[in-house]
């Protein structure tokens, strides 16, 4: 959350810088065409992978399993799709990272591990040392 405001300040500046640089190199029309092409490619990938994720989640639900990975995949696909629809090359790059399966899995593992570390959940069992005495007590007032 502490990176939220700086991202909204720095990201548009980076987008403008790269759009101007690419525009001076390949021309304004080609730059606009490239931005539109990346948006169409992103929509194609999002549609294809989103449908597959939906089918996987449905299959898990039919097997009475929680589709946690599919939910996280869906979130990454939605963020990636939104970034690809946003004009600019930096957001397109980040969007494609969210849509490419092997980079998405890497990011998902990082997000999941940070969630479990922050929330206090752990997959490691702690060994209780010392002697335990089981009993009851009553407080007299």
Model pTM score: 0.70
Rounded Cα distance, 141 and 131, in Å: 29
Rounded Cα distance, 75 and 98, in Å: 9
Cβ proximity of 30 and 38 under 8 Å: no
Q: What is the pLDDT of residue 16?
A: 92
pLDDT 10s digits, 50-88? 888 888 888 888 888 888 888 888 888 888 888 888 888
Residue 32 pLDDT greater than 80, yes or no? yes
């Amino acid at each position: 959350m502490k990176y939220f405001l700086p991202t909204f300040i720095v990201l548009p500046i980076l987008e403008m810088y790269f759009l101007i640089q690419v525009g001076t190199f390949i021309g304004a029309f080609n730059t606009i065409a490239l931005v539109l092409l990346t948006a169409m490619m992103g929509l194609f990938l999002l549609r294809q992978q989103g449908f597959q994720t939906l089918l996987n989640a449905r299959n898990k639900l039919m097997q009475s399993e929680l589709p946690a990975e599919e939910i996280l995949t869906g979130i990454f696909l939605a963020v990636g799709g939104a970034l690809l629809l946003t004009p600019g090359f930096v957001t397109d790059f980040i969007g494609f990272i969210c849509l490419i399966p092997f980079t998405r899995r890497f990011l998902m593992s990082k997000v999941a591990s940070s969630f479990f570390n922050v929330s206090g959940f752990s997959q490691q069992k702690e060994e209780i040392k010392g002697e335990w005495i089981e009993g009851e007590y009553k407080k007299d007032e």
